[in-house]
């Protein structure tokens, strides 16, 4: 199994971006981000493929490049893998199409789903929302730090925590079992994506040393 080793998990968001997703990804890579997820909901397939191809080139040799939800786009651009939500393509279908040499992450919000994801063969899970978030309208209620700790006790694959995570609370999230975090609005909505990503990475790495 491919095992991801990252600290800050960057997710694109064209709706919140101030300088555009290409600029955002450039800044994230310069800051040392090792994983980029392309997430887009409101454009057609051809446009998604166009953007994803350009982002993949930027990530080549620098970071893992994943596609959110869209298996067809991931296959078209030969991405490094896919992240799947609960209402998306099934894990079984994604693995069958992508093969064993691609990364598949699954969104979960409780211990049972996390255990099931590991058993199925997911490379990592996205757990959240940890705290209240306004980035995704359908994010649901926060699962909290207690759930994060319980999930960590029950699985060995990496946990990417997401939802309401800021520089003020990221240390608590890492100390309680997350291997990496994703923070969309706190990063994309800032005036300096490079600085924000760099700050997150530094905090996370310091926490992991303790």
Burial class (CB in 10 A: 0-12, 13-18, 19+), 111: middle
pLDDT of residue 6: 87
175 is catalytic: no
Phi, psi of 109 (to 5 degrees): -140, 15
pLDDT of residue 179: 96
pLDDT of residue 5: 80
pLDDT of residue 82: 98
Cα separation, 83 vs 64, in Å, equals 12
pLDDT of residue 182: 97
pLDDT of residue 109: 93
Q: Which of 34, 56, 70, 107 is catalytic?
A: 107
Domains of the chain: 9-209 (3.20.20.70)
97 is catalytic: no
Cα separation, 146 vs 143, in Å, equals 8
pLDDT of residue 134: 67
pLDDT of residue 30: 98
Q: Which of 53, 58, 136, 167 is catalytic?
A: 136
pLDDT of residue 50: 98
Model-wide pTM > 0.85: yes
136 is catalytic: yes
The tens-digit pLDDT sequence of the chain (210 residues) is: 676 788 999 999 999 999 999 999 999 999 999 999 999 988 999 999 999 999 999 999 999 999 999 999 999 999 999 999 988 799 999 999 999 999 999 999 999 999 999 999 999 999 999 998 766 555 568 899 999 999 999 999 999 999 999 999 999 999 999 999 999 989 998 999 999 999 999 999 999 986
| Counts for the chain of helices (H) and strands (E), in that order | 9, 8
Q: How many CB atoms lie within 10 A of CB 210?
A: 7
């Amino acid at each position: 199994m491919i095992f991801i080793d990252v600290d800050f998990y960057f997710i694109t968001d064209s709706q919140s971006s101030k300088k555009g997703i290409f600029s955002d990804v450039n800044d994230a890579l310069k800051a040392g981000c090792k994983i980029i997820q392309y997430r887009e909901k409101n454009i057609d397939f051809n446009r998604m493929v166009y953007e994803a191809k350009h982002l993949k080139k930027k990530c080549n040799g620098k970071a893992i490049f994943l596609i959110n939800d869209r298996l067809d786009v991931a296959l078209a651009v030969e991405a490094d893998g896919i992240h799947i939500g609960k209402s998306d393509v099934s894990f079984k279908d994604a693995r069958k199409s992508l093969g064993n040499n691609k990364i598949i992450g699954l969104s979960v919000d409780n211990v049972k789903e996390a255990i099931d994801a590991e058993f199925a063969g997911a490379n990592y899970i996205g757990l959240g929302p940890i705290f209240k978030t306004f980035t995704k309208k359908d994010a649901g209620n926060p699962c909290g730090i207690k759930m994060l700790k319980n999930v960590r006790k029950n699985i060995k694959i990496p946990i990417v925590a997401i939802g309401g995570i800021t520089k003020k609370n990221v240390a608590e999230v890492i100390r309680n079992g997350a291997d990496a975090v994703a923070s969309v609005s706190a990063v994309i909505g800032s005036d300096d994506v490079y600085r924000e990503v760099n700050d997150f990475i530094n905090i996370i790495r310091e926490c992991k040393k303790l």
